[in-house]
Amino acid sequence: MAIRELIDAYAHCADRRDAKGQMALFTPDTRFLVFMDATAAEPTQELHGRDSLAPVFDNLNTYETTTHFNGQSTVSLDGARATAESYCLAHHLSVGEDGQRRLMIASIRYLDELVKQDGGWLFAVRRLMVDWTETRPSAA
């Protein structure tokens, strides 16, 4: 339950533009890897340390709004360590220079390594795997 709450808190902070709250969900020495193509061997972006996450999370401000819908998760516990795989459909609404509203939907899987510290679970390693995206005009 606590791990699922951590996973959901990440999405909640993203949609509320709470970069500091989002960063607090990670260990100080965290690794965050982004694979814009989930089939790629190497990440598109790799960050080390909690403080390095701020620009990535602040980048969500380029969108008018976002909504992350978390789906199923599998979790394997091993004492104070765990691994998890979680699915998410992330909706990103933007307005182009032409005034046209666009919706980009990304199907994301998060591959996580988690640790329990000071009584709470944190992300030690988070791999963001983009399985597919779709961008289309939006009437929203």
pLDDT, one tens digit per residue, over 17-44 is 999 999 999 999 999 999 999 999 999 9
pTM confidence score: 0.93
How are strands ordered across the β-sheet holding 45-48?
Answer: 45-48, 26-35, 120-137, 101-117, 81-95, 65-78
Residue type, 33: L
Number of domains in the chain: 1
11-15 mean pLDDT: 97
pLDDT value for 139: 82
CA 113 to chain centre: 13
- Residue 99 sits in which domain range? 2-137
User: Helix or strand or coil: residue 32?
Assistant: strand
CATH number, domain at 64? 3.10.450.50
Give DSSP secondary structure letters for 74-102: EEEEETTEEEEEEEEEEEEEEE-TTS-EE
Between CA 61 and CA 64 the distance in angstroms is 7
Between CA 125 and CA 47 the distance in angstroms is 10
pLDDT, one tens digit per residue, over 40-75 is 999 999 999 999 999 988 888 899 999 999 999 999
Between CA 52 and CA 29 the distance in angstroms is 10
110: pLDDT strictly greater than 80: yes
Residue 33 belongs to what H/E stretch? strand 26-35
pLDDT value for 101: 95
88-107 mean pLDDT: 95
